[in-house]
Amino acid sequence: MRDRSIMIGMGALLATPVLVWLALPGRFSFPLLLAVCLVPFLHRIQTLGSVWKAWRCGLAVGAVMHVLQLYWIVSVLRQYGGLEWYLATPAMLLLCVYMGLYPAVFAAGFHYLVRSPQAIVPVLGGSALWVGLDWLRSWLFGGFPWMDVGYGLWSYPWLLQGVDLVGHYGLTFIIVMLNIVLLTSLQRTRPVMQRVIGASVCVVIIGSWLSYSAVRGQQVDDLIVSADKAALGIVQGNVEQTRKWSPEERLRTVKDYVRLSDDLLESGPASLVVWPETALPFYPRRDELLQPLIDMVWEKHVSVLSGAPWYEVEEDRTKRLVRYYNGAMLMDPSTSFVVGYYKSHLVPFGEYVPLKKYLPFIAPLVEAAGDFTAGRIDRTLDAGVIRSGVLICYESIFGEIGRAWVKAGANLLINLTNDAWYGKSSAPHQSWAMTVYRAVETRRSLLRSANTGISGYIDPTGAIGIESELFEQWAATVTVPLLDVQTIFVGGGYLFAPLNGMLALLLVFVTAAGTGRRRDNLGEPK
């Protein structure tokens, strides 16, 4: 019997991580598995006899689940961080253990919720708890909201339209709820009516989401038809990460992007041409390498938005302080002026070292990329009727940043990124999938220019208008609508996730207290 229990435990430990890995975006995916991927994990939680055992199960499942999603971090740390495999692998595993803490807390809470005599409590409480923990992970210690389960439906625009109400967390809620309903429906110990009520609530919520998506999708299509349009160019230079920063290759890199842009403009006009993150591999201030770009902007009379490092110098009588930024630079021929945006959400241990004073041994990890200072979202980058909000690199996985740009007046979102770090792993596909949701949440057209791909255009319904292949030179012109509508998500719907967390805490507390009282009444040990 003990051997059988161990086998069941190991099966639950592996089944859910593998099913989630197969369901979520990557080089391949099977999204239908989202409907059942959590059931083995949920079932295992309810069979465990203590909250501590549930917590340990959640930690193990969560850690394995994230190892399958984040394996590519090892190659990034080895190739670009200069770490040997015996240091890079533990670093990745340590991150995955941290990520596993959130499923661990979920498992501990669900251990109580599933014991409620009311079937609706684990259905709503468990879904709310998962969403609340995803939200917590999105900002705690800088935040790393990578591959929430709601992102698994990115390629189905007809399912995404409710995202403009509550963000991608709405789909996460529905997916978790569906898995819990499948679990509770199989519990023979529950009265039939209780199981029917839980399933009915699930049907009503999913039906409401689908009905709203159908109506809202048509409304947005109508807005797109009547909206102002702009022709925009996207350029993907496919410059090797190890080559672009070498002194002898910098001019060649700039000329490559100028050549691709010239060829693009020969095929048709564009109001704005977009280059990727750090497409200019030098500090543009007073650098002669900028001259080919300046010539193109004036000759073609076109605005160019490019990623570029930047620095600002602050001097007084006692000291000289230089601040470095990962920036976006807009060159507009009508103003003869360079304006920009400095990345506001930096990558921990990639662009800066948290608590650097206390962790000096980690500082070498950022030497290749630079130790940057965070900027802030202040004003849009304007070119004619275009008011751009810029998401640099993994800023595209934070719904709050897209929302802030729309509040600042953006009628277009542009994601500049360099995914060359990830190689041909699942990471570029995952990053592209998460970016889709920023367009739907804000109802803005979204252009993405990535050094090695995936580059493309996402319309305000979340439909992919055009996309590139990985690791090839590519350029395209697209005509996009410029919408000014403000969504419920931008106005206040972003509070859905933290409110779920508060509701979950209340339900866990009440059910845990109720479980304790029932044990007392039965004379059972606590």
* Residues with catalytic roles: 277, 343, 393
Write out the two tokens for 62: 């969560």
Sign of the CA dihedral running 403, 405, 408, 409: negative
End-to-end CA distance of the chain: give it in Å, rounded.
25
Write out the two tokens for 494: 């972003």
Burial class (CB within 10 angstroms; exposed 0-12, middle 13-18, buried 19+) of 286: exposed
Strand-pair category, 456-458 with 337-342? unpaired
Residue type, 447: L
Helices (H), 281-363: 291-300
Residue 268 contacts residue 380 (beta carbons within 8 Å): no
For residue 314, the cross-strand partners are 321
Instruction: Give the contacts of 3 (CB within 8 A, at least 6 positions apart).
Output: none
Write out the two tokens for 472: 């090839």
Round the CA-based radius of gyration of the chain to a whole number and report it: 25
Nearest to 182 by CA among 59, 41, 47: 41
Sign of the CA dihedral running 139, 143, 147, 153: positive
What are all long-range contacts of 201-206, with beta carbons under 8 Å and residues at least 24 apart?
A: 201/120, 201/123, 201/124, 202/123, 202/177, 202/178, 205/174, 205/177, 206/174, 206/178
Tell me the C-alpha to C-alpha distance, in Å, between residue 232 and each of 13, 272, 475: 48, 5, 11
Tally of CB atoms within 10 A around 278: 27
* 3-state SS assignment for residue 87: helix
